[in-house]
Structure formats: C-alpha cells, structure tokens
Structure 1
Amino acid sequence: MAHLGVAELADVAHAAYGRELRDVARLRGGSKKGVYRLTLDDGTTGVAYVWRASEDYWPEHEYDPLFGNASGRDLFLTAHTALSEAGMCVPRLVLVDRDVVVVEDLGGSFLEKQLDDPKPLERLWDDVEAMHQRLSPRYGRPSALQPTDAPPIPDVVLKRALGHLEDCSTRVPRIAAAREHLETLLRQRHSLIEPRTRYGLIHGELGPDHVLVADGRPVLIDIEGTMFFDVEWEHVFLQLRFGRHYRPVPGLDPARLALYRLAMHLSLVEGPLRLLDGDFPHRDAMLAIAEHNVERVLEELHAV
C-alpha cells in the first residue's frame, strides 16, 4: 500500500499552519486510517489523521452498526468533543478538513514505555474513573445513541461473540474442536446478567499504546471507538492490556465481566486473522495477538 508524501499533504499543511511542508513520516498503527507527522519548513511539526480508502488495511466486511468500522472524521470529532467534555485530555485540533484532521504533535512518549512511572499511570486511572462516571440512559456513539427499545448490551455482545466463534471455528482447529462447549459457555454467562439502564462513557480500545504522556498528563489517541456502553467491556480490555499495572475498581458486575472477557478474546482472534486477509504489513504482530487470544479463549473453558 502506497503512503502519502509531501506532494499529497502540502495543501493540508499550508491550510493548517500557513507554511511549506518539508517532510512527511507515516507513524505506526493506523490500520483504518493514516497517521502522518508533518514537518514544516521552520522545523515545527503536527500530526495529520487521514481517512481514505487507500489508508484502510481492512478487507471488505459486513460491519455491525455499533462496533463495526469505528473510523472516520465524524466519529473522531464527536469522540473528541465527548472526551473533552468528560475532562479527558485529547490532542488539540488544528485543522478539520473533508477527510483529514490535523492535531498538535505531542511527540512519541507513549505510556507503554512508562508503565513503571506511577504518576502518569495513576493520573490515567483517575481520568478513566471520571470518564466512566459520565453516564447516559442509552448506549452507543455519542452522536448516534441507540433507541430506548434497542436490544440490551449483553444481547448485542452475545450475538457478536457467536458470530466471532463461528468465524474462528473455520480458521482455528482448536477452537472448532471446542465450539459447542464455547457456545454453551457464552450462553450460560449471558443468562446470569441482570438488566441495566445507565451506561458509562468508554474509550473502547484503551491500551497503553493509545495513551501519550505530555507534561505528565495522559492524552488519549485513537479515540474513534468512544461510546456509551457497559464499563465492564472497557475494564476487560484494560485488564488484558495493562496486566499487573491495571488498577481494579469496586462495583463492577462479575457476570458482565465473565461474558465480556470471553467475547473480547474471541474478538481478538477473529479481528487480527481477518485483518491478515488483506495486505496489512505487520503480520507477525497480528498472528501473535491471535495466537495469544486463542489460548485465552480455551482457558476460559477451565475458568468455570
């Protein structure tokens, strides 16, 4: 896949900063969008997010309306507003264009390289707790909340997980061999969940690689998956990505955690393997994620 260069982004840089563009570097990540550092003729920099078909590594797929294809300028902007209103720190907007947003460049100081520093990590947990306490009576994207008669979140998660189980069974023989038991386990865990009518604001994919540290403050990036949802969904992901650095919180529903944990692991098998149907370049990393989560899926059979 060809990436953008100075010629393609010169007009964007001029519109954002009124200066000439000297250099462009595509930054890591960005399987659904291009992330580019713009270096101007005076040495200052900015970061451009570009949503174009040429930047999307994902093969064509029938997306579900809630989780599917969490990418695009409009989703980014509504998430930016919702997170800012919740007191979270996000990069400052410099330019909003048709399929490009330019934000301030906060450098490459990712939290994943500073997990042993308690200050930014504790600040993140405080921020996340405050974010999760921002509530809505309906779930969904901040700009497209689901109607009041929408299926309950556990039903949505179960349906999605069963679809992932079906797909994984066609790709991974070990999951195929345990498919019947895994389906039974998903349905059993779902049956134990009590109704809920209040939902917290979540990032949706909050790993330490999606948090920058600027002046000691955690700054959230890759925010397009932001939505009002069961906060247990986010906590399952936080536990997975932060490991021993995760800070538990009281009051989470253990039934939801159990269902969402298995559903999350199935998702992290299905998604990486489907991404590899295309020409995503970092193939070994995706295979490692899928393999790790195959093991975690099968471990769930012995966790009951």
Structure 2
Amino acid sequence: MKKVFGTGYLASSVTKMHGGAQKVVYKITCSNGFVCVLYIWDLSMNYFKEDIEDGDIHQHSYGSHLFELNNTYLIQHGIKTPTLYDLNTEKTRYPFDYALVEYVDGQTAESYYDHSDSQVQDKVFERLGDMLARMHANERHSFGKADHREMGTENCHYEQMENAKIQLSYASQYMKDIGVNQNKLIDILYELESRIKPRTQYEFIHGELGPNHVLVNDKLEPFLIDIEGAMFFDIEHEHSFLEIRFGDFYRYLKNDKLDPDRMLFYRFHHHISLLSGGLKLLHRGFPDEQFAKDLANYHAACALRFVEGYDI
C-alpha cells in the first residue's frame, strides 16, 4: 500500500470478501479512510485448478493478464469497471500475481430484484441494458481476446461443443440421470449445433455476466466485475446466459437481433456447463455447499428437459 499510494496509506483492516471461484478478494481499509480491493490470482486457491492445468476452457477466463487487458479495453470504450491501481506480476516475494483495485461502495444488481422503489429498479436495469448495448456494439470479424487478431478460423461455438462433451463426461459419473441420458444429451448437442449457420461477425462480451458480476454504486451506476473472461464472441453466448441469470429482469437487457438457433445451442451448453460446475465446486470444498448442490441440481433438470423435448 505504501509503495503504490504513499506513506500515508497504512492498512488498518483487511477483510476477505465473497469472491468468485477463481480468485481471492480482500477489502483493505486504511487508517486515513481510503478503501480499495486486493485481488489475488493464486492457482492453488482456484476451484477450477484441475481444469486450467488440463487446458480446459476455464483457461480463457483466468489470470491477471486477462484482467489487465480487459480492464484497459472496457475503460477505453466507456464501460464502467473498477479502476486498476496497480498490478504486481513479479512473483519475487509471493508465488502469485496480485492487484490493487478500486473499491465500489455498493451492492450487486441482484439486490435490486426486490427493491421497494420501481423507479430505482428501472433506472438500475435500464442503465445496465444501455451499458451492455454499448459494449456489444464493439465488433470485429474474428473471435478471441481483445489482443488476439489471428483467431477465428473456425466457428467459435465449436469450443462450446467440445466443452459440453467434457462437462457431460464429468457429470455423468456423479448424477445418475445424466449418466443414463448422456448419449441422448450428446445427440441433442449435435442436433442444435447442426442448425447453426456460419458467421464472421463477433461482438465484445463479458462471458459470464450474472447479477453477481454487476456492482451498483450509490449513484445507481453499474460496474462490471470478474471481467477476465471478456472477449469477442457470439453475442448469443452472452444473451442466453443473461436470460438464465436475470430471469424476469432480462426484459431490460433484451436484444431483438439474436439468432434463435445460436440462443438455443448456447442455452443448452450453459445448463451442461453449470451443472458440471456446481458438482466441481461441491467436490472441491466450495464453502457454500448448498449453493453448489442447488446449482448442479437445477441445471441438470434444465438439461434433461431437452431430452423430454420441452425446450426444442
């Protein structure tokens, strides 16, 4: 703190915050009243460590380099996200990268679901909708990270095809209904993929934007957090996830120009990925065990609805 901000910044309290599954987050309060956040990318503390080491899709959403890259890109394009004060990647004193980041004093977008004032509710979600529209308006002809220009030789949804197979293989070992229906689920995956027509236009998306990844300050301004997975990709990947996570509040975020075949394919992929993700959190000691169970069970039921033909 002294090295970055000066001798007047003495940490008086450090509190662990409820962070994501891939990095550790602390709130630091200084004796002079200044508050900031410490991010730590320690792979040994990552609940998806095995997947990253195996070269799984999670490698696309982990690491300080991706945070710095996307933080710069979003801010340059007028999308609010906490300011990066300092990033340390030296690994001389500690075996991990860490950053000091702006503290946004507020609540997640989820806390506005039950807000008593509908005008406040409207303002928060309309502003979020406007922000996402501005972010998604950034387009290019290849998919991939903001600093990669050579990707995109194949349709980007192929990555999700392969990931879904991997996640189904994992889940089928632990959930009887998924194991029994594994081949049917894979057949549905191929059927939904076969409907997708080629595309060469991609938008910049967050990649995993739930209401817990939006902070709202006291001016009712939304800020995007957990931005490591942001990239140029099919916009339907984002919107199918928004639809799942925001429920009724998705009406503020809707886009009328989406490809319905891609929407259905990505929705199916998300259910498979989230049911497997819930199981992995459960098996790897995630502190909120009930959340992990509920996540796996809910999305398993959603995936099986496709087998029953309700969603296709």
TM over 0.5: yes
Alpha-carbon distance, 1:30 to partner: 2.6
C-alpha distance 207-225 of structure 1, shift in aligned 2 (>3 A): same
5+ unaligned residues in a row in structure 2: which ranges? 90-96, 116-120
Counterpart position of 2:19? 29
Question: 2:122 aligned to 118, 121, 124, which one?
Answer: 118
Q: Which residue of 2 aligns with 1:185?
A: 188
Q: Is 1:75 the counterpart of 2:60 in the alignment?
A: no
User: Do residues 258 (structure 1) and 256 (structure 2) align?
Assistant: no
Q: Give the corresponding residue for 1:56.
A: 46
- CA distance in 2 between counterparts of 1:134 and 1:296 reads 32
| Residue pairs, 1:136-151, within 5 angstroms | 136-149=140-153, 151=154
User: What RMSD in Å do the two structures reach over aligned CA positions?
Assistant: 1.7
Gaps of 5+ in 1: 1-12
Alignment-derived partner of residue 7 in structure 1: none
Is the contact between residue 206 and residue 238 of structure 1 (CA under 8 Å) also seen in structure 2? yes
Cross-structure match for 1:107: 105
What is the deviation of 1:64? 4.1
CA distance in 2, matches of 1:118, 1:129: 16
Instruction: Pick the aligned partner of 2:274 from 264, 268, 277.
Output: 268
CA distance in 2, matches of 1:95, 1:68: 23
SS at match of 1:140: coil
1:174-228: CA deviation from partner (whole Å, max 9, x where unpaired): 1111122211111111111000001000001111111111222110011101011
The 5 A counterparts of 1:161-180 are 161-180=164-183
Distance 2:276 2:56 in 1: 17
Q: Check whether the contact 1:59–1:274 (CA below 8 A) recurs between aligned residues.
A: no
- Secondary structure at 1:39 match in 2: strand
Contact 2:22–2:47 at 8 Å: present in 1 too? yes
Count of aligned pairs between the two proteins: 291
Corresponding residue for residue 244 of structure 2: 240
Match of 1:17 among 5, 30, 41: 5
Aligned-residue offset at 1:271: 1.4
- The answer for the alignment partner of 2:92 in structure 1 is none
What is the CA distance between 1:28 and its match in structure 2? Answer: 0.2
C-alpha distance 172-66 of structure 1, shift in aligned 2 (>3 A) = closer
Give the percent of matched residue pairs that are identical in Structure 1 and Structure 2.
Answer: 34
Determine which of 197, 203, 226 is the counterpart of 2:200. 197
Partner of 1:157: 160
